[in-house]
Structure 1
């Protein structure tokens, strides 16, 4: 067994790919000495300040109970009551992958030194990640203003009051200053958002390859991807998409004439529709990178100012809005994939039999793929609906707005699953068409992509169930994203 990778958490430089690394693999997680020092200094500062002034959640109640003073005799019992009362999550359990990502993000946020939580919590989270321990945590209970139920259940697991699903650690003592300090985060929402964002990014990169294969089958016109066209309206994502298609298809110089004077939108408008999705996902990733490295705890301990500040960093409007935008743009590109699939089964576009059938008259070929694609597209459409049009008023009217970024993150994961199915349908049809009418792909990246798909997908062209083909094509998209 080889040496495990080591990730040093410092509270400032965590990347989305680091989150996926820890979510997917066994990694040794360590806390940097500077982060340990910062956390210790913040813990001592907030302890000193608590003796001289009111600090929300430490010397007071929370929510509408913010004006109720907690006596010094309460000790750690106040913190335990906070955790127990907030550990009211319900529904299905969060999957281990999401929980590992959550634990890493929460650790990194604590390492930024703004929570005032005891440094032993950082050591415990790092130990849990290194040991592969996974807490038992319910999914439902957050509205984008702090993952209170998820993190309360996690804290009680660390303290020994709740069970671990996998592995475990010796109980970690928690005091009053640890309770709200640990809960005051959207780490679970961010974990789900990061993992979904990375998958959407992979699928968008793979979609360039799938669209290029369909372009070859359909005899697309290079004019739609020509550099002068996109220099005339240089949105970054649009320019990037057109450049990717030119690279995959070996387009250079003055574009040659296509088979048609103008292609259907699935080919002709691909850069204009794919571009916004590329830009939206890139922006979403920037937002998430800021969030996973941010000091978000309320109240926030500032070592530089030597003070504690009450604020609203727990509100994740940036995340919710960016997720809404990304999901909406993915819906548009998925519609184009379904449209290209419709073109691939149409003889007037391909010169091949209807539905790419091969067999006696009346054979259905890939007819069913359009139904599957539009079923997945319908599910994607529902998951793409914006969450930011709603809000909530809770805690006796004191907390009178919510971002619902948690729901936006869940729906982003649903969008990714559905989009993968839509692309898989197009890929199966495009590969089948290229088998029926081989094209001279020369020494181009798209040729290597076809060779890979050709080696993986079943070559049988007779009428038969296509479920296994779709499963294989969906899995293949991650490899196509690297072309």
Structure 2
């Protein structure tokens, strides 16, 4: 059970919400804050004060006064008119996390909604009613207006949801769970859609997969190094301490841990003096991407617990301020950084693939083929990897450098953060397939070298990965191998692989 307070949601809890049907509950103290801010909104309406979004229109229409008797109609019109997202829906688990993040933001007590709004959001999560939310249509400022409007539709019994494995009308699912749809009152529609929860939910999903891939990259690279009889001197701790980046040093240490006990790696001068950059500079390149991941993680942890709607209510209503916390720029930049960092993992991985398949760059059989000439072996797998890497270069173009004014130029700078988050996830999906190809090639390379010569840690990886993709003894439909390896990498856990090879306290598992 995850307790939502508005302040303490962690990435680990978000991971549980994304990957399981973890239930959530609202903290009682937070509900008290929600009630206090709601009283302030009701006072504003009763006294006819002019406050943006409560007694006025929206965006460029903020100068239009709305009478108290029209506040409910105003909120309903807002949700319906803004629900204009298009394209394929966000993955169901991302939609689920979006609902949780919106509830968590409202629980901070700055938004002026009734407790019933938060409670209904939580019911959706716990009953596994997940809004169908189109991915395209958000500018990432004024909040993720279009995506969150599709989320808000469900609260009023409109729109579509996923429920019990089926896509259906929201009202049908609500009736089955005996959840009454809400009639949104003053400020509530605006509070639901003024926020960055679409880009943040997609960003969290992307980051968690990116972190897993970054860890896997080191084990795969270690296996590749054995397939290429790589030199380990370049991973010596002193080199990396001399530069001073802790992430670079940590990557080098982990690579050496994977390779401890290997009889396939070499020392400088034994076979060659230096390896190519794609081998020798693994700590520098991977380490730099780990630095970027650290930045992204920090920003997501802040944003998951941020108040991102407008206006915000402070001091029990004595201070109501219109600001711009809905602007997605912090997450937009983080997502663009994530895209670039993950694209680099694939860039260098593809170069390692090339070194294994190109007979001019190693002494391995041409294209790792069992019968070069008659059979093509891994030749076109490298093509596939190159294609994915090239696609990533296009997707990694920063979304945040663009801005198109909206709402009659009132909203004249926007973040495009949701586009950045979506692109980051696409890149990560491509990276995993590039890693799958590197893994297949590395398995084949060490198969030729002699699997009995592998390090204990990489031998464990080999034994499990080769069960997914057996050695290439003749040409076959390699698309099947790539997709099977891709699926395995998405699910596999690498816990324990870095324990000392001679440690007997616990069996190392993948």
What TM-score results when the alignment is normalised by the length of structure 2?
A: 0.89
What residue number does 2:228 align with? 218
Equivalent residue for 2:411, pick from 390, 399, 402: 399
Q: How does 1:90-105 map to 2 (within 5 A)?
A: 90-105=86-101
* SS of match in other structure, 1:391: coil
In 2, Cα distance between equivalents of 1:187 and 1:244: 35
Q: How does 1:377-388 map to 2 (within 5 A)?
A: 377-388=389-400
What residue number does 2:43 align with? 48
In 2, Cα distance between equivalents of 1:197 and 1:308: 34
Change over 3 Å in CA distance of 1:360–1:340 after alignment to 2:
closer
Give RMSD over aligned pairs.
Answer: 1.9
Q: Are residue 148 (structure 1) and residue 145 (structure 2) matched?
A: yes
Runs of 4+ in 1 over 4 A off after TM superposition: 439-443
Equivalent residue for 2:73, pick from 77, 84, 94: 77
Deviation at 1:441, TM superposition (A): 4.7
Q: Provide, for residues 207-251 of structure 1, a one-character-per-residue CA deviation record: whole Å limited to 9, x for no partner.
A: 001100000111111121111100111223212211211111128
In the alignment of these two chains, the number of paired residues is 476
* SS of match in other structure, 1:8: strand
Q: How does 1:7-406 map to 2 (within 5 A)?
A: 7-50=2-45, 51=47, 53-145=49-141, 146-166=143-163, 167-168=173-174, 169-250=179-260, 256-257=267-268, 259-303=271-315, 306-347=318-359, 349-359=361-371, 361-406=373-418
Answer whether contact 1:82 1:180 (CA < 8 A) is retained: yes
What residue number does 1:3 align with? none
In 2, Cα distance between equivalents of 1:10 and 1:137: 25
* SS of match in other structure, 1:61: coil
Deviation at 1:16, TM superposition (A): 2.1
Answer whether contact 2:41 2:54 (CA < 8 A) is retained: no
In 2, Cα distance between equivalents of 1:321 and 1:273: 20
* SS of match in other structure, 2:400: coil
Equivalent residue for 2:473, pick from 458, 461, 475: 461
What residue number does 1:448 align with? 460
Compare 41-50 and 122-131 and name the one that shifted more.
41-50
Q: Provide, for residues 120-160 of structure 1, a one-character-per-residue CA deviation record: whole Å limited to 9, x for no partner.
A: 11111111111001223222221111111122222222111
Q: Provide, for residues 338-374 of structure 1, a one-character-per-residue CA deviation record: whole Å limited to 9, x for no partner.
A: 1101111134554321111113753211111111101
In 1, Cα distance between equivalents of 2:493 and 2:119: 39
Answer whether contact 1:77 1:176 (CA < 8 A) is retained: no
Deviation at 1:320, TM superposition (A): 1.0
* SS of match in other structure, 1:194: helix
In 1, Cα distance between equivalents of 2:253 and 2:315: 48
Deviation at 1:94, TM superposition (A): 2.5
Answer whether contact 1:19 1:105 (CA < 8 A) is retained: no
Compare 210-219 and 129-138 and name the one that shifted more.
129-138
Deviation at 1:273, TM superposition (A): 1.0
In 2, Cα distance between equivalents of 1:443 and 1:288: 37
In 2, Cα distance between equivalents of 1:238 and 1:305: 50
In 2, Cα distance between equivalents of 1:264 and 1:300: 55
* SS of match in other structure, 1:232: helix
Q: Provide, for residues 61-106 of structure 1, a one-character-per-residue CA deviation record: whole Å limited to 9, x for no partner.
A: 1101111111123131121122222122222223311110111111
What residue number does 2:441 align with? 429
* SS of match in other structure, 1:431: helix
Deviation at 1:206, TM superposition (A): 0.4
Q: Provide, for residues 171-210 of structure 1, a one-character-per-residue CA deviation record: whole Å limited to 9, x for no partner.
A: 1221122111111111111111110111111111100011
Deviation at 1:331, TM superposition (A): 1.9
* SS of match in other structure, 1:66: helix
Change over 3 Å in CA distance of 1:176–1:441 after alignment to 2:
farther
In 2, Cα distance between equivalents of 1:304 and 1:75: 21
* SS of match in other structure, 1:176: coil
Structure 2: give runs of 5+ residues left out of the alignment: 164-172, 498-510
Answer whether contact 1:432 1:461 (CA < 8 A) is retained: no
